[in-house]
Amino acid sequence: MDWVGWILALVLAGAVVFLLLRRRDSRAALDAETSRLRQHEDRLLTDSEGLQARAEKLDAQRSELKRKQASIQAELERVAGLTREQARAEIIEEAERTAKLQAAQLAREIEQRARRDAEREARNIIVGAIQRIAAEQTSESVVTVVQLPSDDMKGRIIGREGRNIRAFEQISGANLLIDETPETVLISCFDPVRRETARIALEELVADGRIHPQRIEEVYAKAERTIDEEIRHAAEDALTEVGIVDLHPNLVPTLGSLAYRTSYGQNVLKHLVESARIAGLMAAELGLDVATCKRAAFLHDIGKALSHENEGPHALVGADLLRKHGEHEDIVHAVEAHHNEVEPRTVEAVLTQAADAISGARPGARRESLEAYIERMQSLEKIALRRDGVARAFAMQAGREVRVMVEPEKIDDAGAQVLAREIAKEIEATLTFPGQIRITVVRESRATATAH
């Protein structure tokens, strides 16, 4: 058994030796790791101290920088005499002023460029519209010539003691100028409708040969019916030319009477047709409603056809007439605004103004002196027509005479004399004229009976 014990002792001894050796190796490794960790800790501590020193240095530098900035700002404020807020406000104000100046310059350049382009385009449109329209030059006059078959007819026109010529002038409101010109009689009247009616009546009387006051009345009434028919045809032809088919029937004769009226020597109905065509061409170029623009331009001067009893500018009078007869408000506005009595609010109104101006401003379209003469004649007649009891009034002899026909049941002979003085005083107070104006008040009583 001794050898078994011996073997066990050897095994135990070997195990102990092994464990001791292993423990020694582990302790050596642990000591080495501990040494390494201590070295690493020392390095970290050194680095931390360096970082702390650097942070303290940076804080010191930052504080110094702030101190210097404050010192510089204080010095700048002292030198400039401004606080920081004031300096900032001045800088902002200067920047704003500069920006506004640059913006204004840019806007002005854009506006000038746009204006140049717009003017060039508008000029091209207007020139194109005028070139595409062939219109007559003005040739209106206040005198009409009637040819006679012989000079003997002059005596019959004058009548015994001048009763025929007086009756003709009183009925027609036109002057007959009979001089030594062979086989010729001149009819003078500023109102083209009255002058044309007188021409038709006189030619009918000359052709018929029977000339006396009663026959003059009959023929003149017939001539008035003829003129009414011609007025209707003139209106229908003009409407057809501009392509308007739905005008109110009551407006047709009013419109047609413009065929016998002039504005600065330009025939008004022809002016309306021309204006409508110009407006239509420009509307097509601008992409607007052609029919509306043509209609507004065609109707813009309809107020000129109304009688002298309608007070106010013809643009407003015409607009009221169209409004009463159901015209669209765009048309009515264009008419009332075409002379700026009302501020234009639509492009159609502005285009109507342009078409009116283009038609009237083209070379040869108008004569200023004739329009001034007609306005003076109309003013004389209006003064007389404002009086109660006045039936008709005619300015004659180029404005040197106003002949007033009164209603005999309202004004007696003494009242006629008073009326003449009142009219003369108002003419003196309101009008400027050369020479003298004679006021003739005619009061005529008639008695008529019929034999069966």
Tell me, letter by letter, the H, E, C secondary structure of 301-354.
Answer: CHHHHCCCCCCCCHHHHHHHHHHHCCCCHHHHHHHHCCCCCCCCCCHHHHHHHH
Q: Which helix (H) or strand (E) holds 179?
A: none
**The pair of three-digit structure tokens given for residue 4, joined into one six-digit string:** 């078994």
In sequence order, what are the residues at sequence separation of 6 or more whose Cβ sits closer than 8 angstroms to the Cβ of residue 166?
159
CB under 8 Å, gap of 24 or more: what pairs does 414-420 form?
Answer: 415/389, 416/441, 416/443, 417/441, 419/387, 419/389, 419/390
Name residue, tokens 């009893």. Answer: 309
- The C-alpha atoms of residue 446 and residue 46 are separated, in whole angstroms, by 143
Report CA dihedral (125, 128, 134, 136) to the nearest 10 degrees: 50
Give start and end residues of each alpha helix (H) in 287-328. 290-299, 314-324
Is the pTM higher than 0.85? The answer reads: no
Among candidate residues 34, 38, 58, the one with its CA nearest the CA of residue 46: 38
Other residues' Cβ atoms within 10 Å of the Cβ of residue 276: 27
The pLDDT tens digits of the residues spanning 165-178 come to 999 999 988 888 88
pLDDT of residue 447: 65
User: At residue 64, what is the residue type?
Assistant: E
Query: For the stretch 390-422, what's the b/e string if a residue is b when 16 or more beta carbons lie within 10 angstroms of its beta carbon?
Result: bebbbbbeebebbbbbbebeebeeeebeebbee
User: At residue 437, what is the residue type?
Assistant: I
pLDDT of residue 131: 45
Report yes or no: 262 and 371 within 8 Å, Cβ to Cβ. Answer: yes
- The C-alpha atoms of residue 409 and residue 302 are separated, in whole angstroms, by 35
Is the pLDDT confidence value at 134 over 50? no
Between β-strands 390-396 and 401-406, what pairing exists: parallel, antiparallel or unpaired? antiparallel
In sequence order, what are the residues at sequence separation of 6 or more whose Cβ sits closer than 8 angstroms to the Cβ of residue 262?
138, 140, 192, 268, 370, 371, 374
The pLDDT tens digits of the residues spanning 216-253 come to 999 999 999 999 999 999 999 999 999 998 899 999 99
Report yes or no: 254 and 305 within 8 Å, Cβ to Cβ. Answer: yes
- φ/ψ of residue 89, rounded to 5: -65, -40
Report yes or no: 114 and 151 within 8 Å, Cβ to Cβ. Answer: no
Which of 28-32, 38-42, 206-210, 251-255 is predicted least confidently? Answer: 28-32
Give ∠ CA 383-387-391 in degrees, rounded to 5: 100
pLDDT-derived band at 137 (thresholds 50, 70, 90) equals very low
pLDDT-derived band at 372 (thresholds 50, 70, 90) equals low
- CA distance to 67, 80, 82, 296, 328, per residue, from 85 (Å): 19, 13, 8, 63, 63
Name residue, tokens 């009221």. Answer: 320
- φ/ψ of residue 249, rounded to 5: -60, -30
- The C-alpha atoms of residue 202 and residue 168 are separated, in whole angstroms, by 9
- The C-alpha atoms of residue 294 and residue 288 are separated, in whole angstroms, by 11
Beta strands in 242-322 (DSSP E): 262-263, 266-267
User: At residue 309, what is the residue type?
Assistant: E
3-state SS, residue 101: helix
The pLDDT tens digits of the residues spanning 43-58 come to 888 888 888 888 888 8
pLDDT of residue 333: 94
Q: How far is CA 33 from the centre of its chain?
A: 103
pLDDT-derived band at 123 (thresholds 50, 70, 90) equals low
The pLDDT tens digits of the residues spanning 299-339 come to 999 988 885 556 778 889 999 999 999 999 999 999 999 88
Q: Which helix (H) or strand (E) holds 392?
A: strand 390-396
- The C-alpha atoms of residue 354 and residue 253 are separated, in whole angstroms, by 26
pLDDT of residue 368: 47
The pLDDT tens digits of the residues spanning 373-423 come to 677 788 888 898 988 899 888 888 777 889 998 988 888 888 888 899 899
Q: Is 374 exposed, middle or buried (0-12, 13-18, 19+ CB in 10 A)?
A: buried
Interval 347-372 mean pLDDT: 72
User: At residue 18, what is the residue type?
Assistant: F
Is the pLDDT confidence value at 270 over 50? yes
